[in-house]
Amino acid sequence: MRRPRIVDVVVTVGFVLALCSAGAIQTFIELCRGQRLQALDIFRQKPSAANVRAYEKNLEDFSWVSQKLRHRMQYLQYVMLNDAGEKALPGLDGWMFYKPGVEYLVAGGRAITKAKVGPDPLAAIAEFQDELALRGIRLLVVPVPNKESVYPEKLTSRAANLHGIRSGQTSDLLDRLSLAGVETVDLFAEFAQAKQRQTNPADGPLYLVQDSHWSPSGVAVAARAVVSRLLNRGWIGLGSVSYDTKLAPVQRIGDVLRMLQVPEIEQTASPESISCLQVIHPDSGMPYRDDPESEILVIGDSFLRIYETDEPESAGLIAHLAKELKRPLTSLVSDGGASTLVRQELYRRPALLKNKRVVIWEFVERDIEFGAEGWQIIPLPPVPSGTVEKSSGENGP
Amino acid sequence: MVFSSYIFLFYFLPLVLLIYYALPWLIRSLGKSEDILSRSRNGFLLVMSYVFYGWWNPWFILLMLLVTTVNYLCGKMMAAPGASPRRRFVGVTLAVAISLGTLGFFKYFMFFQTNLNQMLSWVGVEGLPVLQIILPMGISFYTFHALSYSIDVFRRQAPPVRSFADFACYISLYPQLVAGPIIRYNTVADQLVQRTHTWDKFASGVSLFILGLSKKVLLANPIGGIADAAFNAHSLQASDAWFGVTAYAFQIYFDFSGYSDMAVGLGRMIGFEFMKNFDSPYLADGITDFWRRWHISLSTFLRDYLYIPLGGNRKGPRRTYLNLTIVMLLGGLWHGANWTFIAWGAYHGLLLAFERYLGKESIYHRLPRPGRIGITFVLILFSWVLFRSPTLGDAGHYLGGMLGLVGGDGHPVLVAAQLYGRGQWILMALGAGILLSPFRAHDWSRTVTWPKALALVPALVLAVMAMCSQAFNPFLYFQF
């Protein structure tokens, strides 16, 4: 028999050792930590397809080797290929975009990698409006443009001459909402005008550079547009609380950067300096707080949460709506869940509708296609005892 | 289980290799013969292959077992001493009918029902509810493996298998089970009984496996993102559409040839030698040449088990053209129950028939070789649009984009952000460089040298790192 060549032996043994290393290291770590051996979990459950999938996923997700390698590779890809992974898309001048938002805009309703979310948003919105109307409550719908809809020129140099894009799918929904008699605020037009008006670079863009959300300037534009619509329609009048504002600068690593889950990138990135205007009570100087007895309920997603419950607090859309309306509001926020989850939460908390005359429903544009749990029809919660329902015509236009 | 997954690479494969190579010690320590060793190794591979296959859905194993049993019994019927020609014919007919019947039901019944309902709706008749059938992974491949056995035994081109375990091992052998190469029984019959295990064979298997893994996770997966962006776009500029379909051409080559390399490499690690499935297909200078280089195991299977039985080129030119078209149509349908695959097969069939009409030459055969390669590649790109698109309508939409017929409404410019980043250019350039180079992974890995071994180390490290950082990304050919 021919004597084996050393290189063949080295390659063979080296390869087998490399294959064995991950399992051996994981076993060693688990034994040292006194944990149960995860690899043996397969023998602890019925071998169904679902169990096997879950086992495989856990094995990889909790693997020490996999965890160590994963973010190093992502960092390498980011540095060498400018590839920001599954969720982020680097734009120009340091701008980062949330990839599903770009996909929503580019695909324009065609089936894309993620499963489509199901029922038509119009049906859910119209049903919600009808049910609210039965209680004498008005609905104002506020779709928030994706960042890339407002700043396409920051995504690619090809869009240098475009100052705003509206997805065909978004336009279609807005048109159909209008035909169905649903009142909407067109923030696309408002933001386009605001961009054109911005001549001073110090004003800053309407969206954050590293984040998928709007900036304080964007919040201010949206708040003014919503309040203007409410007042014009006569649905609600100005209150009597003259809120004040104070400058509240914050430093923030954008959510798109954090989505990469690569510590090296977060550590090297400079936080974005954001000049927020915190809404404060004129007498006490205390930050704005919601009032459950308010006549206005605001529901929505993280576009309501940013600056409001995040740093610096009371500087988000809710507080600025309150300031413009001179009255406190009630709010309900569900991160990423404005399509269905927030209404499910509302169903569980009927007291939130107490005394309400107006509901403002904010959702981000991409949720038209990707909203978590789709656009289910969710009934309103039962009327709390002791509350009298108003007829639909009581607050007619 | 996917070759490019954490569980396969770090748990399944080392477990299989360690036990497989520990078996001789065990057998010798029990004082058993060498014949027992071969049988026990095949038995062990059979068990592990069933685990590998059952990982998708344990119930699928039963179907594979059914196809295996039917073909085994039919093989016994045909190979029985003194079996009459009639008995042999009945045996092969049963094997073919049951195997293709099973494939037809699981792969094409829904397609048939959907189209029947569509036709009924044209005449105002309400259709029947469509039976929802899950397509078992790899059914097209293992059905062909089983058929090749029955037909080879019928033709007396291969001896009947010595045991059911050996036969079940051949059908289910995990390296080539779910996406080929399509291994014909007569090419591995001897290896099932006796095969050599040497350090150099194992090392060459390792090197081919690493190259295949690298093709898949370092090239096919990221380039696939470019293709996805283009094919998912609502509207495209012509340049974007061409760039996108070129990316898909790269993706499907690196994905499928990567899988084949890994399969052949894994086979070598356990002593098997499987056929080469790709031979620089994008350097083909005509469609006939392309099919000598692309998915060779399928094209030779179709040639030997379909084209030649249909009469091949023995019944005159017209019949030859018809046979070519029929074979490619069925080859298209084999890929999936969708009109897009049928159109893809028809397109290739017509091109092949036309080249046959010209004497196995392309119409552009007088051009210099780079020109011939370029035109062939463009013809292939059109076919990939059919292959990649979910419906014929989508294919038409995309082809319209390539020809500049799909209007832009502002959004096409955003596709650029997904297509033309620094990383995308680097990957496409790297892909093009490899495709145009004389590099052949199959041949390169035959003998491992120190420089090659040193080159494999970073390839493996990078591939494993990329694998750990990527989402689940099965091979494109798993769907077939």
Interface confidence, given as ipTM, is 0.87
Q: Quick: pLDDT tens for A111-146.
A: 444 444 457 899 999 999 999 999 999 999 999 999
Whole-number average pLDDT of chain B: 91
Q: Please tell me the distance from the alpha carbon of residue A152 to that of residue A164, in angstroms, as a whole number.
A: 6
- Please say if the pLDDT value at position B189 is more than 90: no
Listed ranges A212-216, B1-5, B128-132, B412-416; the one with the highest mean pLDDT: A212-216
The one-character DSSP state at A116 is P
Comparing B39 with B432, the larger pLDDT belongs to B432
Cβ of A102 under 8 Å from any chain B Cβ? yes
Q: What is the pLDDT of residue B9?
A: 94
Q: What is the pLDDT of residue A384?
A: 63
Q: Is the CB of residue A324 less than 8 Å from the CB of residue A358?
A: no
If contacts are CB pairs under 8 Å, which of residues 287-346 in chain B contact chain A? none
Cβ of A164 under 8 Å from any chain B Cβ? no
Q: Which residues of A touch B203 (CB under 8 A)?
A: 7-9, 11-12
Give the mean pLDDT of B180-202. 89
Q: Please tell me the distance from the alpha carbon of residue A46 to that of residue A326, in angstroms, as a whole number.
A: 60
**Is B413 in contact with A158 (Cβ distance < 8 A)?**
yes
For residue A311, count CB atoms less than 10 angstroms from its CB and return exposed for 0-12, middle for 13-18, buried for 19 or more. middle
Cβ of A159 under 8 Å from any chain B Cβ? yes
Give the mean pLDDT of B276-285. 94
Q: Which of B16, B201, B234, B447 to mutate to test the interface with A (most CBs of A within 10 A)?
A: B234
- Please say if the pLDDT value at position A324 is more than 70: yes
**Is B202 in contact with A80 (Cβ distance < 8 A)?**
no
Which residue in chain B has the smallest CA separation from A99?
A: B418
Q: What is the pLDDT of residue A391?
A: 39
Q: What is the pLDDT of residue B306?
A: 92
Percent of chain B with pLDDT over 70: 97
- Of B295, B264, B265, nearest in space to B387 by CA: B295
Domain ranges within chain A, ordered by starting residue: 7-62, 96-370
Give the mean pLDDT of B242-262. 96
Instruction: Please list the active-site residues of B.
Output: 335
- Please say if the pLDDT value at position A396 is more than 50: no
Q: Quick: pLDDT tens for A290-322.
A: 999 999 999 999 999 999 999 999 999 999 999
Percent of chain A with pLDDT over 90: 60
**Is A82 in contact with B422 (Cβ distance < 8 A)?**
yes
- Please say if the pLDDT value at position B413 is more than 90: no
Residue A336: alpha-carbon gap to chain centroid:
4
Q: Which residues contact A362 (CB under 8 A, 6 or more apart)?
A: A142, A143, A144, A298, A299, A300, A301, A303, A304, A317, A338
Q: What is the 3-state secondary structure (H, E, C) of B87-128?
A: HHHHHHHHHHHHHHHHHHHHHHHHHHHHHHHHHHHHCCCCCC
Q: What is the pLDDT of residue A394?
A: 33
Q: Please tell me the distance from the alpha carbon of residue A302 to that of residue A364, in angstroms, as a whole number.
A: 9
Cβ of A179 under 8 Å from any chain B Cβ? no
Q: Please tell me the distance from the alpha carbon of residue A392 to that of residue B3, in angstroms, as a whole number.
A: 62
Amino acid occupying residue A314:
S
Q: Quick: pLDDT tens for A144-176.
A: 999 999 999 999 888 888 778 888 889 999 999
Q: Quick: pLDDT tens for A361-392.
A: 999 999 998 888 899 999 998 876 655 444 33
Domain ranges within chain B, ordered by starting residue: 6-195, 201-286+362-473
- The answer, yes or no, to whether the previous bond of B181 is cis (omega within 30 of 0) is yes
C-alpha dist (Å) from residue A59 to A6, A15, B16? 35, 21, 18
Q: What is the pLDDT of residue B37?
A: 82
**Is A81 in contact with B14 (Cβ distance < 8 A)?**
no
Q: What is the pLDDT of residue A68?
A: 86
Q: Which residues of A touch B7 (CB under 8 A)?
A: 56, 59-60
- Please say if the pLDDT value at position B291 is more than 80: yes
- Please say if the pLDDT value at position A19 is more than 90: yes
- Please say if the pLDDT value at position A397 is more than 70: no
Whole-number average pLDDT of chain A: 88
Residue A86: pLDDT band (50, 70, 90) is confident
Q: Please tell me the distance from the alpha carbon of residue A18 to that of residue A6, in angstroms, as a whole number.
A: 18
Q: Please tell me the distance from the alpha carbon of residue A215 to that of residue A222, in angstroms, as a whole number.
A: 11
**Is B468 in contact with A65 (Cβ distance < 8 A)?**
yes
Q: Which of B8, B16, B414, B415 to mutate to test the interface with A (most CBs of A within 10 A)?
A: B414
SS3 category, B268:
helix
If contacts are CB pairs under 8 Å, which of residues 8-27 in chain B contact chain A? 9-11, 13-14, 17-18
If contacts are CB pairs under 8 Å, which of residues 387-416 in chain B contact chain A? 390, 409-411, 413-416
- Of B341, B360, B298, B348, nearest in space to B324 by CA: B348
Q: Which of A5, A12, A96 to mutate to test the interface with B (most CBs of B within 10 A)?
A: A12
- Of B6, B209, B426, nearest in space to A69 by CA: B6
Q: Is the CB of residue A63 less than 8 Å from the CB of residue A29?
A: no
Q: What is the pLDDT of residue A198?
A: 76
- Of B130, B138, B5, B3, nearest in space to B60 by CA: B138
Q: What is the pLDDT of residue B476?
A: 66
Q: Quick: pLDDT tens for A188-225.
A: 999 999 988 876 666 789 999 999 999 999 999 999 99
- Please say if the pLDDT value at position B313 is more than 70: yes
Which residue in chain B has the smallest CA separation from A83?
A: B423
